[in-house]
Copies of this chain bind each other. A is one copy, B any other.
Amino acid sequence: MRQAGRYLPEYRELRAQAGDFLTLAGTPELACRVTLQPVERFGLDAAIIFSDILTIPHAMGLGLHFLPGEGPCFEHPVRDHHAIAALTPPDPETDLGYVMAALRLTRQELAGRIPLIGFAGSPWTLATYMVEGGSSKDFARIKAMVYDRPADAHALLEVLTRATTAYLNAQIAAGAQAVQIFDTWGGVLEPDHFRAFSRDYIARIIDGLTRTVDGRRVPVIVFTKNGGQWLEWLAETGCDALGLDWTTDPAEARRRVGDRVALQGNLDPCVLYARPTTVQSEVHRVCDRFGDEPGHVFNLGHGVHPAIDPEHVAALVAAVHERASGPGQPR
């Protein structure tokens, strides 16, 4: 999950220097520095590149900008089949070269100390922003499209699937040692539609990815927020790991997916609002629920909120490391 960001004073400083979020994420040297900030501060076990899930629609010419307090907005939302037909997948090395440059630079800086994770939004998640024109509460426009004009929705998801496959393969070529697909909004769909409009496109992306580099596996992690009812379907995408949010019981999740995938998660990010001692006891509760199994990757169930005290994140990392190095525990 997002580990850099506004909760860190060193991030706020760089962000102020850059002027705006897009400049920060779009300048490889700055994106690299932001990526490394939480790694250096907390001694994390993996880095995730600092970027945004909306880089692809931005590169497609939709005019991404961020309004204060309103989140991402597109100047040119995609509302009909003409707009969809006009979309072409961006070339990752030219149109999204700043992401690749940031990955190369960060790999260099990390010098093999810890792995670097790349990521992309799921086609469905990107489509929601592109059709709605930004964040949404009820997903009125994209759902009207799904119900009334499913062929348009599929055409949009199709071009996004091709774009995302090329984008993640370019990230892998640029040095990403694992990639995560964020399906932030898959959970707002009914089950049949989740399979047809989100899950199936994620599976197609995974099918098209480079899975081995220099003889090493490049794991693919899939995370559908509020997707706890559909873990079996998600495990069938061909991914190596599933992200769980905090509403899903880890033991139950393991029972349902068997040994097919690793499980990543699932501390409620709101635990970080609590006292450091509470944060630490909650870390242990999560590890207890996973039964200290080797297929567990400790993680939050979502990104760190902007108002979180960095000392609380430090307490979390210390508890995870203490647990992982404890007697009889896998490291």
Contacts and interface: CB of A to CB of B under 8 A. Distances in A.
Tallying the copies of this chain within the complex gives 2
Contacts of A143: 268, 270-271, 273-274
A185 B201 CA distance: 30
A269 B246 CA distance: 26
A64 B95 CA distance: 51
Given A229-B247, A282-B147, A273 B140 contact: yes
A247 B188 CA distance: 7
Given A191-B247, A191-B249, A247-B187, A273 B229 contact: no
A226 interface: yes
Contact of A147 (B187, B226, B278): B278
Contacts of A226: 187, 226, 247
Contacts of A270: 138-140, 143-144, 147
Contacts of A138: 269-270, 305
Among A143, A144, A187, A247, residue most surrounded by chain B Cβ atoms (within 10 Å): A247
Interface string A33-56: 000000000000000000000000
Nearest to A190: B246
A249 B187 CA distance: 13
B140 A305 contact: yes
A237 interface: no
A194 B229 CA distance: 16
A310 interface: no
Interface string A2-44: 0000000000000000000000000000000000000000000
Prevailing SS type, chain A contact patch: helix
Nearest to A147: B274
Interface string A304-326: 01010000000000000000000
Among A147, A226, A249, A278, residue most surrounded by chain B Cβ atoms (within 10 Å): A147
Nearest to A266: B190
Contacts of A229: 228-229, 247-249
Contacts of A147: 270-271, 273-274, 278, 282
Contacts of A246: 190
A22 to B, nearest CB: 23
A319 B91 CA distance: 48
Contacts of A248: 191, 229
Interface string A294-311: 000000000001010000
B247 A189 contact: yes
6 smallest A-B Cβ distances: which pairs? A147-B274, A143-B270, A144-B273, A148-B274, A190-B246, A191-B249
Given A144-B270, A147-B273, A229-B248, 16 more contacts: A138-B269, A138-B270, A138-B305, A139-B270, A141-B273, A143-B270, A144-B273, A144-B274, A147-B270, A148-B275, A190-B268, A191-B247, A194-B247, A229-B229, A229-B247, A229-B249
